[in-house]
Structure 1
Amino acid sequence: MADDDRTPEEEFQELMRRLMSGGAIDPEQLSRMAGMEIDPAMLSQLMQQFQGAFAGSADGSISWEATRKQALHIANQDGLGVTSGQRTDLDQAYALAGLWLGEATTLSPTAESPRIVTRGEWVEETLPVWQEVAEPVATSIADALTDALRTQVPDEMQDLVQSAGRLMRGVGGTLFATQLGQVVGKLSLEVVSGADAGIPVLPAGAAVILPQNFAELGAGLEIPDDQLALYIAARELASARLFRHAKWLRLHVLSQIGDYARGIHVDTDALEEMASRLDPSQPEELRAALESGALLPQQSEEQRLALTRLENLLALVEGWVDVVTADATSRVPHLDRIAEAIRRRRAEGGPAEDALGALVGLRLRPRRLREASAMWRSVTEAVGIAARDSLWDYPDLMPTSEDIDDPAALVARLESQARGETPASDDLDDALARLFAEEAERSGDASPDEDTDPSDRRPEGDRPV
């Protein structure tokens, strides 16, 4: 049958088979089918990109290599590295800040030496976490693309679409991964240190500063660079000590992010409506939709609760770091101005953070940072550094959201504990006491008057965030 004798459905089927098998695509054929005048060279390049995505996603998995390439392209575009002068200045700041931290916290220094890294190195080291954060959304978008295609094609094409399901998921994931690379690359132009991202994107105990971005941090502040470097180094080292000491904390944060992200589902109606009018020669609409978060529906009640728990946890972490950093750098002349400038910068975030929030539907800046800082300050003044830092020994000892709202109850408990007083039992204590008593009676290992008060078994403050 000649090409001109084929029906539009037959022509579309042949086009899909060639696309998925890696065969040559006739740009004029596609342009004729679409009813549009499209530049053949541009369309040929577009088809090559899609075929590459198909070829690299035969198993339906997401190709995160696209994220890496895009992020590194942006991070390394200025071609600048770290000068010997920058490295020397920041190494000296690390050394002095480390000494001062010994007076501000009982948490010991990390075994890993703090480092000076480039933007590209930051991208390479943090990509695994960004992928973990974004993967649930990427998977949801990839699945939605498959569903949208299934509703758009004729009935006689359903078998072909079914067999190509894994390929379509891979293509959708690759498109999202490329957009994520843009965001992470731009974020590498903004962050000053490892802890500056708002979540633990580096391994526990790692401390890094990006001198390329630090050089721009003090613009307009009229604060000497050496003072600013001391404050940033102290913050980074304090955060590293915390995550190294509380080995469970990093996983705790990332698991709560996962709880939130797994509840994200793409708005399939919006995606199908967009697909119905999408012009292949003008892909800006799809890119804009990904950047703005238009494909992500409103948060569910479960997501709002998960986000609240995450914000409380991040506020506790960053509030502690704020207090410890302020105490460690109390000798710095412009401490108040530096701390306020950094706090405001972190609260507002930057363009790349906004883009990340739109892309995955998650804002990583805790809204209760000031309240958490005030709570840690109250605890420090009431019971001292050692008792305060001991609250990070186990997850069950962490302050709760209620403690952030009203630190007085937490302070009273800690003061009572410091005096050696036995805290009053609560309903859970009483229930555990009855359970232990019944078990002892059944086993014959305890007399009826044996002390079964569990208050010394369960750490005070056993209330997770």
Structure 2
Amino acid sequence: MTDLPFGFSSSGDDDDRRDSGDKSGDKDGGNTGKGSGGQDPFGFGFGGAQGFDPSNFDPSAFNPAMLGQMFSQLGSLFSGMGSGLSGSGSSGPVNYQLAANLARQQIGDFTPVSGGENKAVEDAVRLAEVWLDDATVFPSGIAKSVAWTPVQWLEETMPTWQRLCDPVAVQLSKTWEGNLPAEAAQFAGPMMGMLTQMSGMAFGTQLGQGLGQLAKEVLTGTDIGLPLASDGVAVLLPEAVGTFTEGLEQPAQEVMVFLAAREAAAVRLFAHVPWLRQRLLSTVEEYARGISIDFSGIEQLTTDLDPTQLLSDPSKLEELISSSASFEPKTTPEQQAALNRMETLLALIEGWVEQVVAKALGDRIPGTGALTETMRRRRASGGPAEQTFATLIGLELRPRKVREASALWRQLLDASDITVRDGVWAHPDLIPDATDLDHPAAFVDRVIGGGTSAFDDPIAELERTLAEERANEQREKGGKEQREKGGSSDTDGDA
């Protein structure tokens, strides 16, 4: 995976995958195109092999009517993508249909979920739920427990991925159209729609590659820190769990219960902290609003480019789209602040889950400590969470912050009780920030020193906060109406 945000992969990525022995893209050249070569990252199939003969093209005879010929030729190129360019997912800033098709190819063969695996997941979640009742004040948030295959995970989580990716892709598209250098805009204007489609394909290609790999690695529905499944659904992926269990010294049944407890704890948190899901997604949107692109590279690229070259050599369009040097986004201070907030929030979620599961299972499953450390190492070595977020939005979940977040929750519990600890989630203004993770003792002193009455009932506290906000809105609305009424009376009096 690349550290660049998605849609901006460098030209050497395919070579890296071949060198690393990745065979997932061998079929049809790693995409749905049938005629693309190994150096064609998006499957566009540019070149004479598609029937376009550059030797017959005379630049001096160029006229606007020839654009029709080029569009016809490029239309045949796009048709090679097959079903990836059709359907509801083929329009918009990201070609999600193409992403889904590529992800399914990368998943390859998988083992269907058996009835026994379904029952094992249900039993593990049910047992974990009983033990979690003593470890957190949040009640169960699970309506059903399910076992998914990688393809089911892909299909069920795609709506959440769309919500995560759309803000970034839309802003990048707007930035592209609004800031394209004059020289490039002059000859690209008639083909902007085609460029937009190609951009959506490029985004979809990289998203599909990332999700295809992620679908084979994730263990649960909240493995990357986000609630990707529907509300109230606890998810485990038996095939990935089995692979994860190989080589561990713990019995497979204990590993299953441990992972079920992590999933159940995360579902409880998201179910009973209503602002949490929206805060994560809105942070991505906030990051997206600040996206800007350095166009110095494309200006360099188009300085000596004759527009007629786009007819004789359509690969120039691919070069414009895929050149990371030309379109690499710049990270503004505001964006970095948004990413830091998201990293902190994801670390707090992971740290809280870790502490709750340790308390619930510590005396019941001897291998809980070892499994917890295994999960930490998995994340520290670049697990699916770090890879996916780094690819999609440039976010890296630093393992150091996860460890510090876990320590903060542990210290707060040691100094108080689970009611105070979980009460911190009652309102976003109460949760720790990055500075608190670096200095947990100060945060604990602030919470304890300020009294614990505000944390006696986190759900009730949240309801009181929301009620106060509604009351303030009503007062402001009433005051505005009164002022408008008074202004109207004054006007009538003057008349």
CA drift of 1:152 comes to 4.4
Alignment of 1:304-453 (within 5 A): 304-330=336-362, 331-350=364-383, 353-354=386-387, 357-365=390-398, 367-416=400-449
Instruction: Flag structure 2 segments of 5+ consecutive residues without an equivalent.
Output: 1-53, 455-478, 480-495
CA drift of 1:99 comes to 0.6
Identity %: 36
Letter in 2 for 1:303: Q
Out of 244-253 and 403-412, give the one that drifted further.
Answer: 403-412
CA contact (8 A) 1:199 1:364 kept: no
2:112 corresponds to 1:85: no
Please give the alpha-carbon distance, in whole angstroms, between the structure 2 residues aligned to 1:369 and 1:100.
24
CA drift of 1:192 comes to 0.7
Residues 1:125 and 1:51: Cα distance change in structure 2 (over 3 Å):
closer
Residues 1:169 and 1:100: Cα distance change in structure 2 (over 3 Å):
same
CA drift of 1:141 comes to 5.2
Residues 1:100 and 1:177: Cα distance change in structure 2 (over 3 Å):
same
CA contact (8 A) 1:59 1:166 kept: no
CA root-mean-square deviation: 3.9
Letter in 2 for 1:319: G
2:264 corresponds to 1:232: no
| DSSP 3-state at the match of 2:143 | coil
Please give the alpha-carbon distance, in whole angstroms, between the structure 2 residues aligned to 1:308 and 1:374.
19
CA drift of 1:380 comes to 0.9
Letter in 1 for 2:97: E
Residues 1:420 and 1:105: Cα distance change in structure 2 (over 3 Å):
closer
Please give the alpha-carbon distance, in whole angstroms, between the structure 2 residues aligned to 1:355 and 1:412.
36
CA drift of 1:315 comes to 1.4
Match of 1:245 in 2: 272
Please tell me whether Structure 1 or Structure 2 has the larger radius of gyration of its CA atoms. 1
CA drift of 1:408 comes to 2.7
Letter in 1 for 2:125: Y
Q: Return the structure number with greater relative CO, CA threshold 8 A, min gap 6.
A: 2
Counterpart among 110, 129, 133 of residue 98 in structure 1: 129
Match of 1:31 in 2: none
Please give the alpha-carbon distance, in whole angstroms, between the structure 2 residues aligned to 1:74 and 1:59.
22
Match of 2:289 in 1: 262
TM-score in terms of structure 2 length:
0.69
CA drift of 1:10 comes to 4.7
Residues 1:144 and 1:385: Cα distance change in structure 2 (over 3 Å):
closer
Please give the alpha-carbon distance, in whole angstroms, between the structure 2 residues aligned to 1:299 and 1:121.
35
Letter in 2 for 1:130: W
Out of 51-60 and 395-404, give the one that drifted further.
Answer: 51-60
Match of 1:451 in 2: none
CA contact (8 A) 1:117 1:210 kept: yes
Residues 1:176 and 1:286: Cα distance change in structure 2 (over 3 Å):
farther
Letter in 1 for 2:154: V
Please give the alpha-carbon distance, in whole angstroms, between the structure 1 residues aligned to 2:384 and 2:322.
15
CA drift of 1:113 comes to 1.3
Match of 1:448 in 2: none
CA contact (8 A) 1:183 1:352 kept: no
CA contact (8 A) 1:86 1:211 kept: yes
Aligned residues: 394
Letter in 1 for 2:247: G
2:63 corresponds to 1:8: no
CA drift of 1:142 comes to 4.4
TM-score in terms of structure 1 length:
0.73
Match of 1:35 in 2: none
Instruction: Flag structure 1 segments of 5+ consecutive residues without an equivalent.
Output: 26-42, 422-442, 444-465
Residues 1:181 and 1:384: Cα distance change in structure 2 (over 3 Å):
same
Out of 204-213 and 278-287, give the one that drifted further.
Answer: 278-287
Please give the alpha-carbon distance, in whole angstroms, between the structure 2 residues aligned to 1:306 and 1:415.
28
Residues 1:365 and 1:74: Cα distance change in structure 2 (over 3 Å):
farther
2:240 corresponds to 1:213: yes
Letter in 1 for 2:68: R
Counterpart among 325, 332, 335 of residue 300 in structure 1: 332
Letter in 1 for 2:268: R
Counterpart among 111, 114, 130 of residue 161 in structure 2: 130
Residues 1:163 and 1:52: Cα distance change in structure 2 (over 3 Å):
farther
Match of 1:430 in 2: none
CA contact (8 A) 2:157 2:228 kept: yes
CA drift of 1:346 comes to 1.8
Letter in 2 for 1:8: P
Please give the alpha-carbon distance, in whole angstroms, between the structure 2 residues aligned to 1:254 and 1:165.
30
